[in-house]
Amino acid sequence: MEIEGKIIVKLPLQSGTSKTGNAWSKQEYVLETQEAYPKKVHFDFFGDKANQYPLEVGDFVRLSFDIDSHEWNGKWFTSIRGWKAEKIDPNAAQQAPVQAAPASMAPAGPAPTGPAPTGPADNINQDFTETAQADDLPF
């Protein structure tokens, strides 16, 4: 999966030695998306990736990641583990192109021809359309 945004927090590097004697390190960050309603996403790079992708606060990135959940003592925890980060142009992140609906979403068959039916149902549709055009809600 991928997400784009700005690094707003860089937490201290964590490292240690596992029970089996292997050294490990983990670098955690918080990314904020650049949408109308921004979301904050906490993620980390583990092992060699912790030093492979040195990010700083203010960097705009495209993060490739995996999501994993695990259970410990009857509680569930979810982690977002980054596996690649590409620095991007901040203007490109804010002006993402809007994609058209796929052709499979188009109605099947030819468009109806002839006079439009009249009746109570048409008034309901007409009122709904007028309301929707005057409404400024984003959904």
Lowest mean pLDDT segment, chosen from 13-17, 65-69, 111-115, 123-127: 123-127
* Average pLDDT, rounded, for the chain: 80
Given pLDDT bands bounded at 50, 70 and 90, which one contains residue 90? Answer: confident
Asked whether 36 and 136 are in contact (CB, 8 A), the reply is: no
Decide: helix, strand or coil at residue 97.
coil
pLDDT higher than 60, residue 105: no
Longest CA pairwise span in the chain (Å) = 80
> 135 pLDDT band (50/70/90 cuts)?
low
Q: Establish how many alpha carbons lie within 13 A of residue 5's alpha carbon, considering only the half-sphere containing its beta carbon.
A: 22
φ/ψ of residue 49, rounded to 5 = -65, -25
| pLDDT confidence of residue 101 | 46
Q: Is the pTM of this model over 0.95?
A: no
Q: Is the confidence at residue 17, as pLDDT, over 60?
A: yes
pLDDT value at residue 2 = 95
Please give the share of the chain, as a percent, with pLDDT higher than 90. Answer: 60
3-state secondary structure labels for all residues of 106-118: CCCCCCCCCCCCC
- The residue extents of the domains of the chain are 2-94
CA separation (Å) from 67 to 25, 80, 83? 19, 5, 11
Mean pLDDT for 27-46 is 96
Tell me the CATH number of domain 2-94, given options 2.60.200.20, 2.40.50.140, 1.10.600.10, 2.30.130.60.
Answer: 2.40.50.140
Query: In the numeric block, which tokens belong to residue 130?
Result: 């007028």
